Structure 1
């Protein structure tokens, strides 16, 4: 942010306290000088969290509507707490909606990397199947256009990736990055010029205004009661395994590369959702490693440290056991060992340490389905 700087930014955050079944409100303060956070309980009028550094959280993570994992609690930022913060940040950080149309997973990966490299971060994402009704809502501005019947035909019943993107002037930046609706007229180097075919099969749809973006985000990512009926997750629960791109790898912009490697390694991504996993759920998920793996505590903390991307993976070759084959593509738990022995694996290419090894995958064949169900059925509720 050019020239704009403050000794502290202040926001209003909400936390749903499961045990007390009530929403607690806080002032959340962020200090850029040393990347620390502090929380003040508004009802009880006292400090709730003393000034502390939280891994993976910096100023970029703060925008209205975001959810932050602060010491195992999911805090939703609902407003600015002071005019200065509003003035400094409101203009800069914006959200937009984009949807990647049906295409090969490796191209999806390239598009995601392109967005990240040009300053747009994914804050919500899921794979869903479109109905005619969804298409009418998401393309409401084009309903009378001559291309609309072709769009309807191209997208009805098809799997797409919806995304909430965050960044500086996200709406106009995203449109610029995509290029002209007709790939033949798009500027060289734009996403549609690189990967588009025609004005219907042009890779990505994006919101055209900040207001439209908020409507699309609300439609594509509905609250829990509606989630069961609209744009549901697409898990098949058949000869599948679970893959999680861990929070550090998502923050570092490695999701796109992971998707490319998965596709080229012989696997389909049949379901995908971005989750923020609470600390107790992360501990429950990794319970099998408790007392067995030295890194257990670190693994739990990493999984709960921010958004991760969970995927249901299915081998393209229907005669193999997906969990067994996918584990080979993921590689040894320690990325250093992976780089020596299995340099072509996901962890060798994307991992840093045994805890921050970029990817979780189901260890045992029988766990594949159970772990997919945990993420795509239990956690989604």
Structure 2
């Protein structure tokens, strides 16, 4: 029991301290026996957070590029801190990138559900309008393919969904789920066989290898200061309403079903973005419900 209590996974994480305008780096230790976390300040060489259980944080939240809400601080996991952790988790926590091409929202919802039901979790998602430069970058491996000019024409200035997916051998498993580029040649029940029309209008695109996946994710979900100048959100903010999909629905894989229901109700999803909400933002957003809604509680 003593050995199990001390068994841990080690990661390197970064937190941006707004008050000091500094990026602070930590070793994060996750103890699977009781879902507790410990943080060690790398610069000051001392314990920053003693071993404690953080609500909502489990092992599945720890993968390279993830952001964790640890007691009000948004800490980004940047790397493994030891080879033992890397060896145990790298394949199980592999990331890949998927682009859902211009398509009806209900079909996009079905694709998302298909991915989830086959062990791939959506950890980042955004709807954006592609420029010519975006198409050239995201499809850089296809520029010599005879279909590329038609693909370029289809996607330039088009609305698409970009997704970061996490799962066991995510890159290869995702490619199998998507199927051959030509829907007529794709295996039955693959995404392209179910919803694609031809090698250009084949619904989805995925990263060909782990290195490309990381680059595509960094491109589609750029960190500051690039997030304000590349692949912006598509909200019209005109004659519209707001729908928030709560964390439990995302964890339970219900996002696809929700998108289908929105489409079937006659609404058009003009913009979509997945993000982490800090406590101060949640308090501000829900303040109007305080004292009115019985179950009001910001956690």
What TM-score comes out, normalization by structure 1 length? 0.74
CA RMSD of aligned residues (A): 1.6
Contact 1:56 1:251 in 2 (8 A): no
Match of 1:276 in 2: 276
Match of 1:185 in 2: 185
> Counterpart of 1:272 in 2: which secondary structure?
coil
Match of 2:173 in 1: 173
1:192-207 aligned within 5 A: 192-207=192-207
1:129-168 aligned within 5 A: 129-168=129-168
What is the CA–CA distance in structure 2 between the aligned matches of 1:288 and 1:14, rounded to whole Å? 33
Residue 220 of structure 1 pairs with residue 192 of structure 2: no
> Counterpart of 2:271 in 1: which secondary structure?
strand
Match of 1:291 in 2: 291
Contact 1:97 1:213 in 2 (8 A): yes
1:283-362 aligned within 5 A: 283-297=283-297, 300-301=298-299
Contact 1:9 1:85 in 2 (8 A): yes
> Counterpart of 1:30 in 2: which secondary structure?
strand
Structure 1 residues 280 and 80: alpha-carbon distance in aligned structure 2, compared to 1, 3 A threshold: same
Match of 1:320 in 2: none
Residues 90-99 or 248-257, more deviating: 90-99
Match of 2:7 in 1: 7
Unaligned runs of 5+ in 1: 1-5, 302-381
What is the CA–CA distance in structure 2 between the aligned matches of 1:279 and 1:216, rounded to whole Å? 30
Residue 81 of structure 1 pairs with residue 60 of structure 2: no
Q: How many residues align?
A: 294
What is the CA–CA distance in structure 2 between the aligned matches of 1:69 and 1:39, rounded to whole Å? 13
What is the CA–CA distance in structure 2 between the aligned matches of 1:50 and 1:287, rounded to whole Å? 32
1:9-28 aligned within 5 A: 9-28=9-28
Contact 1:11 1:28 in 2 (8 A): yes
What is the CA–CA distance in structure 2 between the aligned matches of 1:225 and 1:195, rounded to whole Å? 37
Contact 1:127 1:160 in 2 (8 A): yes
1:39, distance to aligned residue in structure 2 (A): 2.1
1:139, distance to aligned residue in structure 2 (A): 0.9
What is the CA–CA distance in structure 1 between the aligned matches of 2:132 and 2:79, rounded to whole Å? 35
What is the CA–CA distance in structure 2 between the aligned matches of 1:117 and 1:228, rounded to whole Å? 33
1:211-290 aligned within 5 A: 211-290=211-290
Structure 1 residues 296 and 39: alpha-carbon distance in aligned structure 2, compared to 1, 3 A threshold: farther
Match of 2:118 in 1: 118
Match of 2:3 in 1: none
> Counterpart of 1:240 in 2: which secondary structure?
coil
> Counterpart of 1:69 in 2: which secondary structure?
strand
1:35, distance to aligned residue in structure 2 (A): 1.8
1:288, distance to aligned residue in structure 2 (A): 1.2
What is the CA–CA distance in structure 1 between the aligned matches of 2:279 and 2:264, rounded to whole Å? 33
Contact 1:122 1:165 in 2 (8 A): yes
What is the CA–CA distance in structure 1 between the aligned matches of 2:78 and 2:227, rounded to whole Å? 21
Higher relative contact order, chain-length normalized (CA < 8 Å, sep 6+)? 2
Residue 59 of structure 1 pairs with residue 59 of structure 2: yes
Contact 1:56 1:248 in 2 (8 A): no
What is the CA–CA distance in structure 1 between the aligned matches of 2:143 and 2:83, rounded to whole Å? 40
Unaligned runs of 5+ in 2: 1-5
What TM-score comes out, normalization by structure 2 length? 0.93
> Counterpart of 2:85 in 1: which secondary structure?
helix
Query: Can you list the C-alpha shifts for 1:276-309, whole angstroms capped at 9, x where unaligned?
Result: 1111111111121233334333xx22xxxxxxxx
What is the CA–CA distance in structure 1 between the aligned matches of 2:83 and 2:131, rounded to whole Å? 42
What is the CA–CA distance in structure 2 between the aligned matches of 1:73 and 1:229, rounded to whole Å? 26
